Structure 1
Amino acid sequence: MSTSKKNAQGERLVPCPHCGGDAVFAPSNRYRPFCGERCREMDLGAWASESFRVAAAPPTDDNEPLPH
């Protein structure tokens, strides 16, 4: 048995990655997986301002020997 939430039109609802509200996950929602344009733009802005980062080791100096 499926526990997915659906709206009145039978479209699947998922949590918006930005605000956590309900977002229609269907072609009818041009902003999916976001609930709307505002959340999509705020998420894009966070990536553009480097608020979201992928962890990595600090760069090494090219003149330093590599550890064994």
Structure 2
Amino acid sequence: MATFVDCPTCKNKVEWKEANRWRPFCSERCKQIDLGAWAEEKYTIPAVNLPEDPDLTQ
């Protein structure tokens, strides 16, 4: 049975198999778009309860 995932960039269905060299992306284009987003720091992980910077509280 084939496994399908959504391309993280365009949301098209992609078959998850070794022959798909761009997985989980559907194409090199979608892979490059995602890489560009990382390079431009468009993806972030929200921080909760950041420790206070002692230099800023003086």
TM over 0.5: yes
User: C-alpha distance in 2, partners of 1:48/1:59?
Assistant: 26
TM-score by length of 1: 0.66
Task: Quote the RMSD (CA, aligned, Å).
Answer: 2.2
Larger-gyration structure (1/2):
1
What stretches of structure 2 of length at least 5 have no aligned partner? none
TM-score by length of 2: 0.75
Match of 2:41 among 32, 41, 50: 50
Q: Which runs of 4+ in 1 moved over 4 A?
A: none
Aligned residues: 56
- Please tell me the residue identity of whatever aligns with 2:19: S
- In the TM superposition, what is the alpha-carbon distance from 1:31 to its structure 2 partner? 0.6
Bigger relative contact order (CA 8 A; separation at least 6) = 2
What stretches of structure 1 of length at least 5 have no aligned partner? 1-9
Q: Percent identical across equivalent pairs?
A: 41
